[in-house]
């Protein structure tokens, strides 16, 4: 997901996406630990980056919300 897409979506959808990405990352990491060859080795990095983007933008939205309340 691009940053613009993440900023445009609501918080509930983002929380669902975070859970989905965490499950997928857990599954891929298990495959790596077992020694199974992945179809796409760059998938782990892509999942981690997307997860980090979502969490970062969520925290930015929260901090902006707090600033606006004060």
**Digit-coded pLDDT (tens) for 19-52:** 999 999 999 999 999 998 888 989 999 999 999 9
Residue 55 structure tokens:
């969490």
Instruction: Answer whether 47's CB lies under 8 Å from 24's CB.
Output: yes
Tell me what the mean pLDDT of segment 47-60 comes to: 95
Q: Is the pLDDT of residue 68 over 90?
A: no
Domain hosting 30: range is 10-69
**Residue 1 counted as domain residue:** no
Can you state the angle between helices 43-69 and 11-34, rounded to 10 degrees?
Answer: 150
Q: Is the pLDDT of residue 70 over 90?
A: no
**Residue 43 counted as domain residue:** yes
Q: Is the pLDDT of residue 59 over 90?
A: yes
**Total tally of structural domains belonging to the chain:** 1
Residue 1's pLDDT band (boundaries 50, 70, 90)? Answer: confident
């Amino acid at each position: 997901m691009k940053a613009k897409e993440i900023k445009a979506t609501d918080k509930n959808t983002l929380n669902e996406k975070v859970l989905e990405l965490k499950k997928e990352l857990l599954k891929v990491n298990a495959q790596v630990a077992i020694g199974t060859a992945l179809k796409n080795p760059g998938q782990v990095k892509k999942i981690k980056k997307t997860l980090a983007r979502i969490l970062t933008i969520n925290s930015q939205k929260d901090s902006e919300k707090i600033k606006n309340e004060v």
